[in-house]
Structure 1
């Protein structure tokens, strides 16, 4: 039992000191306001994939058209075969603004994920004006008025071919307060932003809700075609872009998600869509991940409660390290750091979500997006 406790403590030592200090959550866009502005503002076209998003598309469109961006800016919304009036809602929100184009999406071809196919159709419209930059953003994202200005300023000042912001997720319901901060914590643990932002590091991360691209570099990287079947499309795109230039990803309070997760079931579906894909659809990787998470998150409180002597002390130390690491993320959401003591239970929930993701994949229902299974379920 002592050896198990030592292994758990060693794991937390590595997480605290050896993964780019991800847990401090310091990689954010607050310094963007101080960056020098470009001598000439590049033209930008935003592309928004939207299927059955009538509840939020209006707020997204209004926030984008209200940007204080000094350069040429246009907006393309792809109404991806919606049945709830998403396209008309987008047009109504624009109130006749000629910068908006709403394009009706076509059926998804085999081999493409639904979101990427919608983006590809939006790109066909965006390329008509040959913009310098492309902004991919979701239909449930609301941008502060200076969001685009700051994104472009960072890309120009630092020579980044991709700049992405992890939108602030809603954290209002009980399920959100317990589970959503952990989603951000785990994402940064898997993809430390400090490493992703370093040109020489292999890690590449992006958050699909808000991604600004240098169009020329994007075309050199092959566009969306090479990643058309990727379920974790944002990080797949980041890897392609990092091969042609430096990228940057960070947290923000200036871009927020409007999507509500009133219950744990909604969060489970969100996580389960991509969790097994993250493991490469490999059962061995799934088993290894479950064992690793059990060591890191479940063993410390169990040792603290039921261990004896050194094992109990080491279990308490690992549990304290866990709560310490989680505290900065909780503070970003305005939550008490004492919630960090419950991270083992939250991690157990995410383990169950990952198992559910694997089960859905084995049943041919993996990668569900808006009621449509991913390309691995396509015939042939």
Structure 2
């Protein structure tokens, strides 16, 4: 009887998620309709980079080669790298003429700052100084493209982003870069990562003008400079570990219009060949997403178990129970919930060009994410939470 109740609750949850959670499972949210502006605004591309020599040859040339009709420049911020990132960036720029590149090093972040946001602060300041020196505008670039060092852009990416922002009157335009899915673990885990993100932050809901839901994808964010100043970016979010969501919330709270969708021509080139690599990617910030609250952790674990683990358990247990009424009802409720789960996952698998056969495996992937979330909390209480490339960040109240 208990399993039957749980299966019915899971089925009810999936009916609600499918019909009432902002159509999160749809993958057709792409850049809004756009037209070329009468005058192309100036743009500064700011790239924070810490020990990125492995991916920079695949990403930086794509920025240097941007086919942008207006004035644009790149500022790469070397955030204390020890692998020759800065020298490699200069060499790549020398080998491939294109947009002008500046490489700067701000030093270690002061207390109360995460490394990425400290690098962004320095890069934005450098970009505004360089633009003023070049007599672009007195206030510096009109837009900022904040993009990670592992993100590769097609040659028209910047042009399309700016056209979308100017056409729709948006202060922030962000695209969820298509992550790599070359190996087995990437195929199993990566599409689900984006699926779960969209479930938490439905893109359609974010993009409504009066919405209270806010999020961005930190790998590709085009931000109007005036909106950044109004929102106090990045100083107002300097302690944020999940900086992309915090950035979008700050812009939205200050009256800015934001937009988030899936990318077609923006890709992450960072490999995650082993499960451990993906595990670290998720677990380093999962508990921060829960605001380091044990009750939220307990609720999340219970919710993941009810929504993702109960359906297959109920189906198999109900079938094993024989033809009794209770067993049949349990199997039907679990099977229908599992069917809805797999059905809503199919569009994301198609977007990532993965076989539909992976859809029924979503409960297994959800179990991995549950364990990653618990591990994130364990590492936090061991003093190793939110660790990234040799740095560990305390939660904001402890900083």
TM range, normalised to the smaller chain?
Answer: over 0.9
Alignment of 1:22-101 (within 5 A): 22-29=24-31, 32=33, 35-95=34-94, 97=97, 99-101=100-102
Q: Tell me the distance in 2 between the aligned counterparts of 1:197 and 1:293.
A: 26
Q: What is aligned with 2:134?
A: none
User: What SS is found at the alignment partner of 1:274?
Assistant: helix
- Asked whether the equivalents of residues 113 and 375 of structure 1 are also in contact (C-alpha less than 8 Å), the reply is no
Q: What is aligned with 1:208?
A: 218
Q: Tell me the distance in 1 between the aligned counterparts of 2:142 and 2:250.
A: 18
Q: What is aligned with 1:109?
A: 110
Q: Tell me the distance in 1 between the aligned counterparts of 2:69 and 2:382.
A: 50
Cα offset for 1:59? 2.7
Q: What is aligned with 2:175?
A: 165
Q: Tell me, yes or no, if structure 1 residue 364 matches structure 2 residue 383.
A: yes
Q: Number of residue pairs matched?
A: 377
Q: What is aligned with 2:191?
A: 181
User: What SS is found at the alignment partner of 1:309?
Assistant: helix
Q: What is aligned with 1:316?
A: 335
Q: What is aligned with 1:304?
A: 315
Where in structure 1 do 4 or more consecutive aligned residues deviate above 4 Å?
377-380
Pick aligned residue for 2:294 from 253, 273, 283: 283
Q: Tell me the distance in 2 between the aligned counterparts of 1:352 and 1:285.
A: 15
Q: Tell me the distance in 2 between the aligned counterparts of 1:125 and 1:314.
A: 58
Q: Tell me the distance in 2 between the aligned counterparts of 1:249 and 1:261.
A: 24
Q: Tell me the distance in 2 between the aligned counterparts of 1:77 and 1:203.
A: 31
Q: Tell me, yes or no, if structure 1 residue 295 matches structure 2 residue 306.
A: yes
Q: Tell me the distance in 1 between the aligned counterparts of 2:389 and 2:118.
A: 13
Give a deviation string over 1:93-127, Cα, whole Å, max 9, x none: 11175710000231111111111111111111012
Q: Tell me the distance in 1 between the aligned counterparts of 2:113 and 2:292.
A: 17
Alignment of 1:115-194 (within 5 A): 115-128=116-129, 129=131, 130-194=140-204
Q: Tell me the distance in 2 between the aligned counterparts of 1:337 and 1:171.
A: 15
CA radius of gyration, larger in:
2
Unaligned runs of 5+ in 1: none
Unaligned runs of 5+ in 2: 132-139, 319-326
Give a deviation string over 1:184-236, Cα, whole Å, max 9, x none: 10000010000111121111110000000000111001121111001110000
Q: Tell me the distance in 2 between the aligned counterparts of 1:356 and 1:379.
A: 20
TM-score by length of 1: 0.97
- Asked whether the equivalents of residues 309 and 367 of structure 2 are also in contact (C-alpha less than 8 Å), the reply is yes
Q: Tell me the distance in 1 between the aligned counterparts of 2:23 and 2:51.
A: 39
Give a deviation string over 1:22-53, Cα, whole Å, max 9, x none: 10112123x55xx2111000000000000110
User: What SS is found at the alignment partner of 1:6?
Assistant: helix
TM-score by length of 2: 0.92
Q: Tell me the distance in 1 between the aligned counterparts of 2:76 and 2:107.
A: 13
The root-mean-square deviation of aligned C-alpha atoms, in Å, is 1.4
Give a deviation string over 1:60-87, Cα, whole Å, max 9, x none: 2211111111000000001111111100
